[in-house]
Structure 1
């Protein structure tokens, strides 16, 4: 998959290299959940039938992050993970359009004329709720009107599970509530966090449960504070474990920034500085304060046993 970074308007060099008849799926696609996947698969199917490349255009940073609107807090799929997922889906070209203050003022007409027509987009595939242009003035109907005879537009209907529309906001809420089952169903895969193993307080080692302190690589949506059964990939090895997300209230007062500490089962190698990907498989319990170290150790032992049982019987 080719990744192309775009700014508005696209430069002549970019157009010279990448302008060609293509089917393009467009959207923010944060999470690349089941609904997003249906849009991209529709584009891929159309591209195959027309024997042309399938491309995806996404926007970064997230418009809410730039415009400071709404309750935007982090990404479900930062750019690096989005790239990997799209490549696995067979996308030929990923366009990452820089979303900044200037781009937020681009009109729907300018976007179609200067970006989509310039790239020779033959067919644009969007979700039913796609918005574009200054103040979100453009919708799929306007896109179809502006495309005229030069560009077809395909609109993909809402993707529903158990009568509910799958959405990024719904997944965010599920993660904040510890509802991993819903997040898994809507994403179509476990929610993942990725980061570097860094120096922590090393307290876990002193109580018999050494942990890897994960410093997140990107600005992720932080799930509910608590304990999770997880699967981790480190040094190309898949390992089961238990992770605590929280502020460690037994040892700290007034701490607000959560830490991510992973205890890996049957693993005792030095991995400081290594990249680790953690899949959140099951929510075990909320974080709470203990009366002392002995009570904490007993609970950690129970959590580890619970995680081991859950992962051994997991469908993941």
Structure 2
């Protein structure tokens, strides 16, 4: 997949795609229905299958002091797009200039003159242009030389599939409900960081991932799958993970993700990994002694192993 971070001055080979357009935070099943429309159009027109998205997320741009809300980093979103067959990802810088474009100017400057799109697919709730003043009907009216398709919202008995619904499920400690909306396990992706290495001393060495900028799930222990994406240990491993602030070992209060890979032995520092949440096992608890903590970790690992086997994720 080719990543392009501007709409201006593109080579002819980088223009003319059939694109899905939106923020696509989480790349859930509703988003995937939009992608499917663009994919089908790309095949029919004989042009590349593309996605137009924005970085930073417009919500972060307009409310930089708001609590973290993103389900995926830009890197994780790009990884997901590549897995879904996207050939070119236009990750456009969401700047004051771009945010200030009226709908007509956005279509003219970005979609037509910049990207030269042949087709645009969006969701039914898509808004664009200054102050979100453009909607799907405006996009159809303003379209100049490209087709437009609108994917209806995807829903089930619990409501519309949305990033907001996924955040609510994760905050409640219900990763399986989040997975039903996503169409896959919710994943946290990033580089393995150096920690205090206390887990190694306790007999349960863990990898550490930052949660900076991401929506926080309910703190506690989870059964997880771990995809190691780089280095000599590439592959998928079962694991038990802790989201939280490590109250027993006097952490600094910064939320952290620590993961124990079941049956794994090796060094994963600085490697890229993706951790998928399968089941919530228990809340975060402070223990009076390290011995009590170690005993509970052992039980957590066995519980995670059983839950993963039951979910077919071993």
Q: Normalization by structure 1: what TM-score?
A: 0.90
Distance 2:147 2:198 in 1: 60
1:300 equivalent among 297, 300, 305: 297
Distance 2:175 2:289 in 1: 29
Deviation readout 1:6-40 (Å, 9 max, x if unpaired) = 1xxx43x31544333x3221111111100000001
Deviation readout 1:124-170 (Å, 9 max, x if unpaired) = 2110000000000000011111126x333211110012351000111
2:265 equivalent among 265, 268, 275: 268
Deviation readout 1:70-106 (Å, 9 max, x if unpaired) = 9551422222222222222222221111101221111
Distance 1:259 1:135 in 2: 35
Q: Does 1:115 align with 2:110?
A: yes
How far residue 52 of structure 1 moved from its aligned partner, in angstroms, is 2.6
Deviation readout 1:271-294 (Å, 9 max, x if unpaired) = 333332211111101101122222
More displaced, 25-34 or 202-211?
A: 202-211
For structure 2, list consecutive stretches of 5 or more residues without a partner in the other structure.
Answer: none
Counterpart position of 1:18: 14
Contact 2:171–2:217 (8 Å) recurs in 1: yes
Distance 1:312 1:158 in 2: 33
Distance 2:246 2:310 in 1: 29
How far residue 116 of structure 1 moved from its aligned partner, in angstroms, is 1.3
More displaced, 183-192 or 76-85?
A: 76-85
**Cα 1:122–1:198, aligned 2, differ >3 Å: closer, same or farther?**
closer
How far residue 232 of structure 1 moved from its aligned partner, in angstroms, is 1.4
Counterpart position of 1:286: 283
Counterpart position of 1:65: 60
**Cα 1:132–1:199, aligned 2, differ >3 Å: closer, same or farther?**
same
More displaced, 50-59 or 264-273?
A: 264-273
Contact 1:64–1:70 (8 Å) recurs in 2: no
Distance 1:259 1:93 in 2: 33
How far residue 210 of structure 1 moved from its aligned partner, in angstroms, is 2.2
Q: Does 1:177 align with 2:172?
A: yes
Q: Does 1:233 align with 2:231?
A: no
Distance 2:3 2:63 in 1: 27
Counterpart position of 1:186: 181
Q: Does 1:212 align with 2:174?
A: no
Q: State the secondary structure of the residue aligned to 1:261.
A: strand
Contact 1:108–1:133 (8 Å) recurs in 2: yes
Q: How many correspondences in the alignment?
A: 308
For structure 1, list consecutive stretches of 5 or more residues without a partner in the other structure.
Answer: none
Deviation readout 1:193-215 (Å, 9 max, x if unpaired) = 12333332222233322222334
Counterpart position of 1:252: 250
**Cα 1:31–1:264, aligned 2, differ >3 Å: closer, same or farther?**
same
Deviation readout 1:206-247 (Å, 9 max, x if unpaired) = 33222223345x633222110011111332032211111111
Counterpart position of 2:126: 130
Counterpart position of 1:223: 217
Contact 2:226–2:276 (8 Å) recurs in 1: yes
Q: Normalization by structure 2: what TM-score?
A: 0.91
* Aligned-residue RMSD, C-alpha: 2.0
Distance 2:191 2:91 in 1: 25
Contact 1:196–1:276 (8 Å) recurs in 2: yes
Counterpart position of 2:4: 4
1:158 equivalent among 124, 149, 153: 153
Counterpart position of 2:142: 146
Distance 1:74 1:289 in 2: 26
Q: Which runs of 4+ in 1 moved over 4 A?
A: 69-72
Deviation readout 1:176-200 (Å, 9 max, x if unpaired) = 2211011111111111112333332
Distance 1:281 1:89 in 2: 21
Contact 2:72–2:188 (8 Å) recurs in 1: no
More displaced, 226-235 or 24-33?
A: 226-235
Distance 1:274 1:117 in 2: 40
